Amino acid sequence: MRGRFGSLRKAIFGSNASPPLEETVETPLRTILRNFQRNIAAMAGLGIFLLILLSCFILPVFFPLDTSYQDVTQQNVPPGFNMLRLPTEMEKEPVQISAGSVFSVGINGDGKVFIWGQASQKLRQIPGNLRRAVQVSAGLDHVLALDDTGRLFTWGNSRFSLGSIPPELLGAEIRQVLAGNQVSLVLTSDGRLTFWGNENLMTLRLQEVQGRIQKAALSSSACLALLEDGTVASLTTLETPVSAIPESIQGKVADIAVTDKAAAAVTVEGRVVTWGSNVQDVPEALQGKAVSIEAGRSHFTALASDGTVFSWGSNNFGQSDVPSSLEGEKVTAVYAGSYQNYAVTESGKVKTWGLKGYLMGTDGYGRDIFLRLISGGRLTLTIGAIAVIISTFIGILVGGFSGYYGGKVDMVLMRFSEIVGSIPFLPLAMILSAIVGNRVSELGRISMIMVILGVLSWPGLSRLVRAQILAEREKEFVTAARAVGVREQTILFRHIIPNVITVIIVSATLDFAACLLTESSLSFLGFGVVEPSPTWGNMLTGSQSSTVIGTYWWRWVFPALALSLATISINLVGDGLRDAIDPKSSER
Confidence of residue 218 (pLDDT cuts 50, 70, 90): very high
Distances (CA, A) of 112 to 122, 131, 180, 184, 333: 18, 7, 22, 22, 19
Domain boundaries, the chain: 28-65+367-587, 80-198, 202-357
Which pLDDT belongs to residue 89? 84
CB of 130 closer than 8 Å to CB of 152: no
Residues 6+ apart with CB under 8 A from 209: 193, 225, 227, 233, 235
pLDDT classification of 431: cutoffs 50, 70, 90: confident
Cα–Cα distance for residue pair 286/276, rounded to 1 Å: 20
Pick 202-357's CATH classification: 3.30.300.30, 2.130.10.30, 3.30.70.270, 1.10.357.10: 2.130.10.30
* Domain 80-198 class in CATH: mainly beta
**Strand order, beta sheet including 272-276:** 253-258, 262-267, 272-276
The residues, ordered by sequence, that sit 6+ positions from 11 with a Cβ below 8 Å of its Cβ are none
Distance of CA 123 to the CA centre of its chain: 27
State the pairing for strand pair 223-227/232-234. antiparallel
Beginning with the edge strand found earlier in the chain, give each strand of the sheet holding 350-354 in spatial order: 331-337, 340-345, 350-354
When pLDDT is cut at 50, 70 and 90, the band that residue 90 belongs to is: confident
Residue 249 C-beta-side C-alpha neighbours within 13 Å: 25
Tens of pLDDT, residues 151-200: 999 999 888 889 899 999 988 999 999 999 999 999 999 999 999 999 88
Q: What is the mean pLDDT of residues 141-150?
A: 93
Lowest mean pLDDT among 141-155, 465-479, 518-532: 518-532
Residues 6+ apart with CB under 8 A from 201: 181, 182, 183, 220
The top-scoring range by mean pLDDT among 256-260, 400-404, 487-491, 521-525 is 256-260
Rounded CA separation 535/98 (Å): 37
Taking the CA atoms of 266, 304, 258 and 193 in sequence, report the sign of the dihedral they define: positive
- Stretch 231-250: mean pLDDT, rounded? 91
DSSP classification of residue 85: -
The predicted structure's pLDDT at residue 578: 81
**Same fold? 28-65+367-587, 202-357:** no
Using an 8 Å Cβ cutoff, are 295 and 334 in contact? Answer: no
**Predicted pLDDT at 312:** 94
Structurally, at CATH architecture level, domain 28-65+367-587 sits in: Orthogonal Bundle (1.10)
The amino acid sitting at 105 is V
Burial per residue of 20-36, b for 16 or more beta-carbon CB atoms within 10 angstroms, e otherwise: eeeeeeeeeeeebeebb
Does residue 256 register a pLDDT over 50? yes
Going by C-beta distance under 8 Å and a sequence separation of 6 or more, which residues neighbour residue 470?
Answer: 403, 406
Question: Could you give the CA distance from residue 235 to residue 244 in angstroms, rounded to a whole number?
Answer: 12
In 85-212, beta strands by DSSP E: 96-99, 103-107, 113-117, 133-138, 142-147, 152-156, 174-179, 183-188, 193-197
Q: What is the mean pLDDT of residues 374-390?
A: 90
Average pLDDT taken over every residue of the chain: 87
pLDDT band at residue 499 using 50, 70 and 90 as cut-offs: confident
**Are the beta carbons of 272 and 266 closer than 8 angstroms?**
yes
